[in-house]
Structure 1
Amino acid sequence: MTDITPAPPRRPILGALGVVCTHIEGEDCVILVKRKNPPNAGTWGFPGGHVELGETAAEAAARELFEETGVIAEPGAQLMTLDVIPRNADGTVGGQYFLVATLCHYMSGQPVPDDDALEARWVPVVRIEDLGLELLDRVADLARLAQIAWREEPRVAPNAPIT
């Protein structure tokens, strides 16, 4: 039988995460999506994806946020770069990703999942680890960092209920 497992990329892949933080009904909240497809199916994380040729990481973050949730936001400051190196079952490197997390300032829309997500919603930062969500690595840390950065430069908050 032929092994059809794809070979890992030969070079790291650049991705972008759109991290929106805003104040809703008395709480600072971020948008998270529940992944529908592998890798990480069933886990919660920030909207994100590949940076396209010719676009900045900040532009990609805002685009991916809109594509995955329908929320329109203006990209702001870079929050951090995550170095993700998934391993195969045998311990070999399965790929490598540099994910540039960008604070995006909410403009309009409510989170609605696209075809790649099971759910998309506002999640209170202070309760992010208490909601029983299976979070991807560093999501809670990144949410708190976004909250701090957003408080330094807040924008208009949406009139949206917490679900």
Structure 2
Amino acid sequence: MTTSPVRPVLATSTAVFREGRVLLARRGKAPMKGVWTLPGGRVEPGEPLAAAAARELMEEVGVEVDLLGVSGALDIIYRDAEGVLGAHYVVVVHAALWRAGEPSVGPEAAEVGWFEPGALPEPVTDGLGDMVALAAARALQGPA
């Protein structure tokens, strides 16, 4: 029996800023259960990237934002102990300003919190600090 090759999956996440702090969610499901990250998820077929970012935020943590634009991109690649590729996600990170709603927990976000960009909790997903820094720089510029 042959298995299908692993293909990159397009996903989006959003660095939401409110009073200088960034919103993070601690993952409630595998992969990376218990790790802090930006809220986000997969882009659905036919769904514009910005719409996916806004939808995922509402589904995961219940907040509305003003999207400022893309601030970076990140590859998340999972390999097993033998080095066999298990998954590959290409995550496009948006910067945004909080508009409404208090973040809440759910199946995907076991815990949520607002953090200083330079003092993120541990553990975090690979590359999170760099993505938050890029998004913070974009957020300081404000709406285009």
Compute the TM-score of the two structures, normalised by the length of structure 2.
0.90
* Alpha-carbon separation, structure 1, partners of 2:30 and 2:4: 15
Decide which of 6, 29, 42 is 1:10's aligned counterpart: 6
**Which of 119, 122, 129 is the aligned partner of 2:114?**
122
Runs of 4+ with deviation above 6 angstroms: none
Please identify the structure whose Cα radius of gyration is greater.
Answer: 1
Supply the distance in 1 between the matched residues of 2:5 and 2:44 (Cα, whole angstroms): 16
1:9–1:96: 8 Å Cα contact kept in structure 2? no
Q: Distance in 1 between matches of 2:4 and 2:67?
A: 31
Tell me what 1:96 maps to: 88
Match status 1:113 vs 2:105 = yes
Which residue of the partner structure matches residue 44 of structure 1?
Answer: 36
Equivalent runs, 1:78-93 vs 2, <5 Å: 78-93=70-85
Cα RMSD for the two superposed structures: 1.6
Please give the TM-score of this superposition, normalised by the length of structure 1. Answer: 0.80
Deviation of residue 104 (structure 1)?
A: 2.0
Do the aligned partners of 1:111 and 1:122 also contact (CA within 8 Å) in 2?
Answer: no
The aligned residue for residue 148 of structure 1 is 137
Aligned residues: 141
Q: Is the 8 Å Cα contact of residues 80 and 101 (structure 1) preserved in structure 2?
A: yes
Q: Percent identity?
A: 34
Structure with greater proportional strand content: 2
Q: Unpaired segments of 5 or more residues in structure 1?
A: 1-6, 155-163
Contact 1:75 1:104 in 2 (8 A): yes
Q: Which amino acid aligns with 1:20?
A: V
Which of 15, 20, 23 is equivalent to 1:19? 15
Runs of 5+ unmatched residues, structure 2: none
1:151 Cα deviation from its structure 2 partner: 0.6
CA contact (8 A) 1:22 1:150 kept: no
